[in-house]
Amino acid sequence: MLHRPRRRCSVLATLALLAAAGVMVAAPAQAQDVNLSGMLGNKALLVVDGSDPKLVAPGESFRGVRVLSTQGQSAVIEVGGQRQSLRIGAAPVSVGQPVAQSSGARIVLSADSGGHFVTQGLLNARPVQFMVDTGATTVGVSVSDADRIGLKYKHGQAVQVATANGIVPGWKIRLSSVRMNDVEVRDIDAVVTPIAMPFVLLGNSFLARFQMTRNNEQMVLEKRY
C-alpha cells in the first residue's frame, strides 16, 4: 500500500525533470472527425472537425488530413500515419483517440457585411453556396446550378414563379438532400428557375425543418425532425 504513492511521486518527478531539461513530453493525439461530403472531379470535399467544406485533390492536405486517392463516391485519407476510407453520406470518421460525435442537429450561421447569411454546403452531395431567404416558400435553384449538379428538373412539375420582374417559368422538384457540415435534411421541395443567382436560396421548405433563433449577427438553426 505504501509503495503506490511513492511510485506516482517518482513518475511526476521524472516528468518535472524532463520538462526542466527542455524535453518535450508528448500529449495524447487529439482525434479529428473527418467527413466526405461530396466529390468534384477527382477532388474530395472534406469537412474536418466541423469546418466549412474544402475541396482537396489527391496528394494535398487540409487541417492535417491528407487525401491519398479518390474513386467514385469514396476517398482514402491519411491522418497521423493512419489510413481511413471515407464514403459520401457515411457518418464522420474519428481518427485518433475517441471523442464524442456531433449530434448533427444544429447549424450556426454568421451574417456577412451585407447582413446576409451565406454559407457553403451540399445539394444532392454536390458543393454549392447557400443563402438564407426567409421570404421564399421553397429552396430556389438556378438553371445553371441545376445543370451543374445534374438535377433532372425538366422531369419535374412545370410552374409559374412570381419575381420582381414578372412571371417566369420554373420546375418544382424534390431534392434528395441538403447538407451543411454534419447537418443533413432529406426530401426537400425546390423550384428551379432560369433566373441567374449566385446562390441557392434556402427557403421555408428547408427552414421549416428547424427552430430558428437570431442573436445580432448570428443565426442558429436547431433541427426539429
Encode pLDDT of 68-82 as tens digits: 999 888 899 988 777
List the domains of the chain with CATH numbers: 32-95 (2.30.30), 106-223 (2.40.70.10)
> Are the C-beta atoms of 45 and 52 separated by less than 8 Å?
no
| CB neighbour burial string for 169-188, b if at least 16 within 10 angstroms, e if fewer | ebbebebeebbbbbbbbeeb
Of residues 88, 72, 103, the one with CA closest to residue 34: 88
Q: In whole angstroms, how far apart are CA 205 and each of 111, 175, 182?
A: 21, 11, 19
Q: Compute the distance between CA of residue 73 and CA of residue 148 in angstroms, rounded to an integer.
A: 17
What residue has cell string 464524442? 100
Condensed to tens digits (0 to 9), the pLDDT of residues 128-158 reads: 889 999 888 999 999 999 999 999 999 999 9
Would the pTM count as exceeding 0.75?
no
